[in-house]
């Protein structure tokens, strides 16, 4: 099965000692699978996990209600800070269509554009909370799409 055909499944880490989790990680896209494989095999990655962190966020698209945001990836990389601690990252993997506000085209109905804009806005609410969560811990946060996943991997 090629990466393009893979949609979801369970990844079996090669380096179980680096994986943080009580159950094997589940990937929901070929992009997540690619990231799992890269983190697992990269010698600079000290630890990694999938869906290890839940961050509360206020969803402005749903009456400012509090919701839970489960982050796709966490990893520690052996690029050390001045204090000798490894750098920690939280990463979200999303399609470009859910990360950037839609633009008007004749091919999309106004309703479709509104639906896409709501998804992007909801994601922005999540990411704002993730940035704050990371900043308060001295960590980093990033969002990768199909256009940038190769930079992570």
pTM: 0.87
The CA distances from residue 135 to 49, 90, 95, 139, 151, in Å, are 19, 11, 24, 6, 22
Q: Give yes or no for residue 116 having a pLDDT over 50.
A: yes
d(CA 15, CA 12): 9
**For position 5, what pLDDT does the model report?**
54
For residues 7-13, give the mean pLDDT: 94
pLDDT, tens digit, 9 for 90 and up, residues 17-69: 999 999 999 999 999 999 999 999 999 999 999 999 999 999 999 999 999 99
Domains and their CATH numbers in the chain: 9-152 (3.40.1350)
C-alpha span between 141 and 130 (Å, rounded): 7
Q: What is the pLDDT of residues 96-115, one digit of tens each?
A: 999 999 988 888 899 999 99
């Amino acid at each position: 099965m090629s990466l393009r055909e893979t949609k979801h499944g369970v990844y079996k880490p090669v380096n179980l000692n680096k994986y943080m989790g009580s159950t094997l990680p589940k990937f929901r896209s070929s992009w997540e699978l690619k990231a799992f494989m890269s983190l697992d095999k990269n010698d600079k990655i000290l630890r990694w996990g999938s869906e290890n962190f839940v961050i509360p966020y206020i969803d402005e698209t749903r009456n400012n209600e509090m919701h839970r945001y489960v982050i796709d990836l966490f990893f520690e990389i052996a690029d050390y800070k001045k204090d000798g601690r490894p750098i920690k990252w939280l990463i979200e993997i999303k399609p470009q269509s859910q990360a950037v506000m839609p633009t008007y085209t004749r091919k999309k109905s106004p309703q479709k554009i509104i639906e896409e804009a709501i998804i992007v806005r909801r994601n922005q609410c999540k990411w704002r909370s993730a940035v704050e969560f990371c900043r308060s811990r001295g960590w980093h946060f990033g969002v990768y799409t199909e256009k940038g996943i190769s930079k992570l991997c």
